[in-house]
Chains A and B, each alone.
Chain A
Amino acid sequence: MAWKEMLVMMITTYVIRLSPFVLFRKKIKNRFIQSFLYYVPYVVLSAMTFPAILFSTSSKISALLGTGVAIVLAYEEKSLIVVALGAAIGAWFGGLF
């Protein structure tokens, strides 16, 4: 087990969550920081997903089909689990060819 890495992840995450309780009594008013934190989730998820998703299964057709199904379902605003399973089923089906 990667103990050192796990410890770093745990402490980093906890300190982020705890520090506002300790450090601040007032809300952060800085517009730049507010905006920065607003964009982080979308940017990080996009960067993590693409192009890595295209190599997440053992064949191109499989990954492409899974990605396509996920995009369509997400566009229809299906729930997270439906999109995730849809992608997996698409990839499995694509893997048959």
Chain B
Amino acid sequence: MKKRYFMEGLKSGLPICLGYFSVSIAFGMMAIHLKRPIGEAVLISLTNLTSAGQFAGLKIIGNRGGLIEVFLSTLIINARYFLMSLSISQKLAPKTKWYEKLLIAYGITDEIFAISMSQTRALTFSYMMGVIVISVFGWVSGTFVGGIASSLLPVSVMDAFGIALYGMFIAIVIPAIKKNRNNRIAVMIALVLSTFFYFSSWLSEGWSIIVITVGVSALMAWLCPIDQKEEAFVDGLEGNAGDDDHDVRDPA
């Protein structure tokens, strides 16, 4: 572990930490809203370190869904990390040890990926640990604060916060559909199907999300595949790199 690289990582990660803290407050509140214990939410934040994925998982737990439902939704929502891990694994300093890779893999998120890819040098274990440690701290402590605040705030305020995390999702989707026609089509189809499944009550909410995600993403990938150039791949990831905070994307 090189202290200098670690400190550099902490510095790169500070904006991520702040963004995560403010967003995970909403996750902690959501947990209390779903009548789940704070400890559970904090542990999920610590062991998952994902936004949409753990939100969906917690919701299924809250609605007493099955294990397969939890497994499939986690798998599908988080599948994008596969590509990010792939890119990062190719940018690691050549002498990175196998057990160091085990730790780095834990901390691959949209934002950490974006920051890492913006580095001009190869990624060292120390640097990655700096970014990951400070980001995890923001994510976990925010969840805790959100959970505590929920039990202290009046019901009317708590009730209003039930909508906060959805607001965050809207903040990710709308800019993306503004600038890209294919995204617009994908989102429109998803909204129509989601409304249909919601009111037809053929499927539970968790299953409906899984079916829609696989179906619509596959359909769009078939009809409107993205450009295969390297840029398209990075653009795509940048498009959703704002999963937790818009501003942490541009460290420069």
Contact = CB atoms under 8 A, between A and B. Distances in A.
Interface residues of B, number: 105
Interface string B25-56: 01000000000110110011001111011111
A5 B60 contact: yes
Given A9-B54, A40-B213, A45 B102 contact: no
Contact of B213 (A14, A43, A80): A43
Contacts of A57: 159-160, 162-163
Contact of B159 (A33, A62, A83): A62
Interface residues of A, number: 75
Given A20-B82, A88-B163, A10 B48 contact: yes
Interface in A39-87: 39-53, 56-58, 62-63, 66-67, 69-71, 73-75, 77-87
A36 interface: yes
B32 to A, nearest CB: 14
A43 to B, nearest CB: 5
Interface string A4-18: 111011101110111
Interface string B195-216: 1001100000100110011001
A46 B242 contact: no
Contact of A84 (B168, B198, B199): B168
22 contacts: A14-B106, A17-B82, A18-B101, A31-B225, A34-B226, A37-B83, A41-B243, A42-B176, A44-B76, A44-B77, A45-B169, A45-B172, A46-B186, A57-B159, A57-B160, A74-B170, A74-B173, A81-B19, A83-B170, A83-B171, A84-B26, A88-B160
Given A8-B70, A43-B190, A46-B173, 8 more contacts: A2-B40, A9-B48, A27-B86, A40-B80, A45-B172, A53-B166, A53-B170, A86-B167
Interface of A: 1-2, 4-6, 8-10, 12-14, 16-21, 24-25, 27-29, 31-53, 56-58, 62-63, 66-67, 69-71, 73-75, 77-92, 95
